[in-house]
Amino acid sequence: MRRSARVLTIWLLLFLSALPLARPADAREQLVIGMTQFPTTLNPMIDSMLVKTYVLGMAQRQMTIFGHDWEPICLWCTELPTFENKRAKRFPVLDATGKETGREGVRTTYTIKPGAVWGDGTEITTDDVLFSWEVGRHPETGVADSSSYQEIVDIEVEDERTFTIVLDKIDYRYNTLGDFQLLPAHLERAAFANPREYKNRTLYKTAPGTPGLYNGPYRVTEVNEGAYIVLARNEQWQGKPPAFERIVVKTIEKTAALEANLLSGSIDYIAGEAGLTLDQALGFEKRHGDTFDVIYKPGLIYEHIEFNLDNPVLADIKVRRALLHAIDRKAISDKLFAGNQPVAHGAVNPLDWAYYDKLPTYPYDPSRAKALLDEAGWTEIRNGIRHRPDGTKLSLEIMTTAGNRIRELVEQVLQNYWKQVGIEVTIRNEPARVFFGETVRKRAFPAMAMFAWLSAPEALPKTTLYSSSIPTEANNWSGQNATGYSSPEMDRLIDAIEIELDREKRRELWARQQTLYATDLPVLPLYFRSDAYILPKWLKGLRPTGHKYSSTYWIEQWRDGSSASQ
Amino acid sequence: MTGYLVRRLGQALVVLWVMSFVTYGLLALMPGDPVDLMLSGDPNVTTADVARLRALHGLDQPFLERYGNWFMGALQGDFGYSRLFSAPVLDVLGPRLLNSLLLMGLAFLLAVSVALPASIAAARRPGGMADRLINLLCFAGISVPPFWLALLMILLFAVSLGLFPAGGMATVGDGGLGDRAAHLVLPVLTLAVASIAQYTRHGRAAMIEVLREDYIRTARAKGATERTVLWRHGFRNALIPVVTIMALDFGALFSGALIVETMFAYLGMGKTIYDAVMGNDYNLALVGLLLATSVTLAANIAADIAYALIDPRIRLTGRGRA
């Protein structure tokens, strides 16, 4: 026994003697960011993950994005094309025989900014643009949302820095390049020799530390798959130099562990884009608000409840309106989220210029809810639950992703509100993969499904509201209009918005579209989710955007505010 | 012994083949596919994108055809690509398996180093002070949820005392032996606690039973020292049931490692398998589960060999144990 004790002691001493004391990162030369996810690839085209966009915001800039004011801006182009500056021109679309089709297309000309270079000093040229288009539109490269590439009919090259995008239709997004990502042709062309294998052979995967893959203020120098990504200053960057020598993005999936790492000094900052949930951040702020700043930023994640409009009870608009009048969303936001998640009255965020502020709203009004239910024929109350005179009980089911604590909490609060007006609501939740993979996809939820959509500024709800986007067995459950909402007027408005180039006229169309949405209520709007950014007091210059182009696109503005040199 | 090992290895290969088919089938039966996961939350993906991506990932083929393709590839050493990592699955799993084996091996060594002396100390005087204290600690160790224990460890040793890193494999830019060891301390301790408690309970029970045997009384009557009685006559005989538990428990360490790996951001197999299953990465999940099965099978074969080494009366033959 004494020998075992000796062995144990030696074993422990070996460990203890090898220990360097846990030390915080050098806070001034290095910034360590904590996140809960790790990108599956750093290739800007393959997979659309928020966390990848976050990392690439520091290292890989694209031609156009949305700015802090949610308006499109140029990153690598000199100016956005418009009809006024003559960089956008209409042309009649011809058919295969050369006859006019009656439709109009648009040519938009972009010029790459002088000084745009890859991390190895190679200039960014139109050759990169052409190569990126070739990769993006190829059906076998695995690009999730390929529309930004597929919609381009041709790219006409004027010189090494100027090119013209040809579209055979005009829509309101004509002067942005959407998700068009730039790839370095001089490095990636070899990996694209076999397009089907491209996603596995791209240098972003096989040699992500290659400097020439990046064109931002930082470049990736080390990737430890699943654990961390290290970025160092890009020596070739010709814009404002970033303040930190090195950025480390660490992945710690459990938020409790993420929080503990922040407190222990292992990380400096928890990114709002993939960090603590709002309730966790509120709790953290209460405990550690004196040592950390917490920024709450509402964004484009639209939490809502989809109605299954095939359900005869929910097919009645009066019941849908009663459901909305019966709940106090403002109180829910105040009590559960300290007022940090603004109530949604529709799918368009109030921060978006397209938002219409005079649309019909449904304030908390239980009396109105009861009256609407009476009008709908749910007049008899037995054991507190409404029934029709034929004995049918007003009972509905709500579903959401099991294990999502906030959604499950909100469900219970809603259930209680609805009970007060005589609506029985039962809860049946499923794991996310079952819920999204089967239930929502195949419209198998009997009454209500609570989840969120992530969109972009002025995003057209074509896949979620258009009548041809209703998933059915016949179309192999394609489309994302899970409510089954079908309105010729909504289809017309969506089509009209898409081709209207005049912003003021489009604003009018958006107003009509949002009014129709709020009137028909195919979904029950809840709130716009907020991200919580937890940063040390010394970190300054960080401005969340609220949309998918994260705060890291302005990493040059981040700085150590406590430094004497600042 | 050689014949026995060849036979057991043959059986293990059959088990692995059956496991591969069953696992592949179960994964295919799960709702949704990788494309569905890409869709969830992204309203921009069109119907055409969905059809194109399904064809690209081979998800439009029937199950048996997909399994057949995978199996023929596996026979030639090609276990396929991981969709989540965009890399060959063995490239993803190899380093993680080593990490897990290191974590589990150290936790196992620690558990054995603590549990065996503790079980003997408890069994010497059943109902005594030491026995009661050890029992109490064992019940606490078995009862405490690993995720909670992990959190406590982080808060105490990393946040409050600042002794050990809160998570990860190594400090970025360091990665020396000492640094890696420091990062292992808390995960190993957390993972070992439940095993220590379990081994101690089983060891104590086995020791108490053995110490009641006639040959122990005989040894004492012959004037053998207490140390000789305990370790030479008692401990060795009590070890066989404990080894069985340890062999079975080695497989269970994988599931325990999942929680510990997640809490400490430690890149191991448990976490990877979990992510692969949840992310519908069929190839990665399948090969990961097969590797976990292989480790469990290997632990069982090792236990059989250990029986023969511990007790000379046990012989391993090609026809089974005799």
What was the pLDDT predicted at A159?
94
Task: Tell if the CB–CB gap between B110 and A46 is shorter than 8 Å.
Answer: no
What was the pLDDT predicted at B265?
84
Query: What is the average pLDDT value for chain A, to the nearest integer?
Result: 89
Compute φ and ψ for B164, nearest 5 degrees: -125, 155
With beta carbons under 8 A apart, name residues in chain A contacting B167: 252, 257, 260-261, 266
Task: Tell if the CB–CB gap between B150 and A257 is shorter than 8 Å.
Answer: yes
Positive or negative CA dihedral for A338, A410, A550, A481? negative
Q: What chain A residue is nearest to B119 in terms of C-alpha separation? A: A1
Considering only CA atoms, give the Rg of chain B: 24
> Residue A431 corresponds to which tokens in the numbers above?
């794991």
Q: What chain B residue is nearest to A482 in terms of C-alpha separation? A: B43
What was the pLDDT predicted at A557?
94
Q: How far is A90 from chain B (nearest CA, A)?
A: 26
The residue written with tokens 């030639």 in the block is: B76
Q: Report the 10 Å Cβ neighbour count for A208.
A: 21
Task: Tell if the CB–CB gap between B262 and A253 is shorter than 8 Å.
Answer: yes
Q: pLDDT per residue over A257-276, tens digit each?
A: 899 889 988 899 999 988 89
Q: What chain A residue is nearest to B83 in terms of C-alpha separation? A: A40
Interface test with A, best of B47, B97, B272, B281 (most A CBs within 10 A): B47
Task: Tell if the CB–CB gap between B85 and A40 is shorter than 8 Å.
Answer: yes
Q: pLDDT per residue over A467-486, tens digit each?
A: 988 988 887 777 789 999 99
β-sheet bridge partners, residue B316: B321
Compute φ and ψ for A397, nearest 5 degrees: -120, 140
pLDDT band per the 50, 70, 90 thresholds, residue A431: confident
With beta carbons under 8 A apart, name residues in chain A contacting B39: 436, 441, 480
The conformation of residue A563, written as its DSSP 8-state character, comes to -
With beta carbons under 8 A apart, name residues in chain A contacting B42: 48, 144-145, 454
Superfamily of domain B90-321: MetI-like (1.10.3720.10)
Task: Tell if the CB–CB gap between A434 and B184 is shorter than 8 Å.
Answer: no
Task: Tell if the CB–CB gap between A230 and B86 is shorter than 8 Å.
Answer: no
Interface test with B, best of A198, A266, A270 (most B CBs within 10 A): A266
Pairing of strands A152-157, A246-251: unpaired
What was the pLDDT predicted at B11?
86
What was the pLDDT predicted at A19?
47
What was the pLDDT predicted at A12?
55
The helix/strand/coil state of B196 is helix
With beta carbons under 8 A apart, name residues in chain A contacting B179: 20
With beta carbons under 8 A apart, name residues in chain B contacting A222: 172
User: What is the crossing angle of helices B89-124 and A2-17, to 10°?
Assistant: 140
What was the pLDDT predicted at A21?
43
Task: Tell if the CB–CB gap between B166 and A436 is shorter than 8 Å.
Answer: no
Considering only CA atoms, give the Rg of chain A: 27
Per-residue tens of pLDDT for chain B, all 322 residues:
777 788 888 888 898 899 889 988 888 877 666 676 666 556 566 667 777 777 777 777 888 888 888 888 888 888 888 877 878 888 888 888 888 889 988 998 999 899 988 998 898 888 888 899 999 999 999 898 888 899 889 889 988 888 888 888 888 777 688 888 999 999 999 999 988 998 999 889 988 888 888 888 888 888 888 888 888 888 888 888 788 877 777 777 766 677 888 888 888 888 888 888 877 788 888 898 888 888 888 888 888 888 777 776 666 654 444 3
Q: How far is A331 from chain B (nearest CA, A)?
A: 26
Task: Tell if the CB–CB gap between A8 and B113 is shorter than 8 Å.
Answer: yes
The lowest-confidence range among A277-281, A448-452, A516-520, B34-38 is B34-38
pLDDT band per the 50, 70, 90 thresholds, residue A146: confident
Among the partner-chain residues A18, A261, A440, the one whose CB lies closest to the CB of B178 is: A18
Q: How far is B21 from chain A (nearest CA, A)?
A: 22
Distance of alpha carbon A566 from alpha carbon A561, whole angstroms: 6
Q: How far is A481 from chain B (nearest CA, A)?
A: 9
The residue written with tokens 């990736």 in the block is: A220
Interface test with B, best of A4, A33, A288, A301 (most B CBs within 10 A): A4
Angle at A314 between CA A311 and CA A317, to 5 degrees: 140
Compute φ and ψ for A159, nearest 5 degrees: -155, -165
What was the pLDDT predicted at B32?
67
pLDDT band per the 50, 70, 90 thresholds, residue A25: very low
Compute φ and ψ for B203, nearest 5 degrees: -65, -40
Positive or negative CA dihedral for B248, B249, B255, B257? negative
Strands (E) in chain B, as ranges, are 81-82, 87-88, 316-317, 320-321
Q: pLDDT per residue over A309-354, tens digit each?
A: 999 999 999 999 999 999 999 999 999 999 999 999 999 999 899 9
β-sheet bridge partners, residue A152: A167
| Domain residue ranges of chain B, discontinuous segments joined by + | 90-321
Q: How far is B37 from chain A (nearest CA, A)?
A: 7
Q: How far is B119 from chain A (nearest CA, A)?
A: 11
> Residue A121 corresponds to which tokens in the numbers above?
């000093």
With beta carbons under 8 A apart, name residues in chain A contacting B30: 433, 437
H-state helical runs in A18-68: 50-59
Pairing of strands A30-35, A246-251: parallel
Distance of alpha carbon A558 from alpha carbon A242, whole angstroms: 7
Distance of alpha carbon A215 from alpha carbon A116, whole angstroms: 8
Mean local confidence (pLDDT), A151-174: 92
Among the partner-chain residues B37, B46, B230, the one whose CB lies closest to the CB of A433 is: B37
What was the pLDDT predicted at B10?
86
Among the partner-chain residues A19, A453, A463, the one whose CB lies closest to the CB of B164 is: A19
Helix (H) or strand (E) holding A263: helix A255-264
Q: What chain A residue is nearest to B280 in terms of C-alpha separation? A: A433
Task: Tell if the CB–CB gap between A260 and B159 is shorter than 8 Å.
Answer: yes
Q: How far is A328 from chain B (nearest CA, A)?
A: 26
With beta carbons under 8 A apart, name residues in chain A contacting B84: 40
The lowest-confidence range among A203-207, A526-530, B219-223, B275-279 is B275-279
With beta carbons under 8 A apart, name residues in chain A contacting B151: 256-257, 260
Mean local confidence (pLDDT), A123-136: 95
Residue A450's nearest CA partner among A513, A490, A402 is: A402
Q: Report the 10 Å Cβ neighbour count for A166.
A: 14
The amino acid present at A295, given as its one-letter code, is I
Q: How far is A384 from chain B (nearest CA, A)?
A: 37
Question: Which residue has better confidence, A171 or A487?
Answer: A487
Among the partner-chain residues B30, B166, B280, the one whose CB lies closest to the CB of A257 is: B166
Q: What chain B residue is nearest to A3 in terms of C-alpha separation? A: B117
Among the partner-chain residues A146, A228, A260, the one whose CB lies closest to the CB of B166 is: A260
> Residue A158 corresponds to which tokens in the numbers above?
């004027």
With beta carbons under 8 A apart, name residues in chain B contacting A438: 31-32
Question: Which residue has better confidence, A561 or A539?
Answer: A539
What was the pLDDT predicted at A443?
92
With beta carbons under 8 A apart, name residues in chain A contacting B46: 145, 147, 463
> Residue A347 corresponds to which tokens in the numbers above?
């799918």
Q: pLDDT per residue over A46-70, tens digit each?
A: 876 778 889 999 999 999 999 998 8
What was the pLDDT predicted at A434?
79
A/B interface, count of CB pairs below 8 Å:
209
Are A559 and A362 in contact by the 8 Å Cβ rule? The answer is no
What was the pLDDT predicted at B36?
67
What was the pLDDT predicted at A566?
40
Q: Could you tell me what percent of chain A has a pLDDT over 90?
A: 64
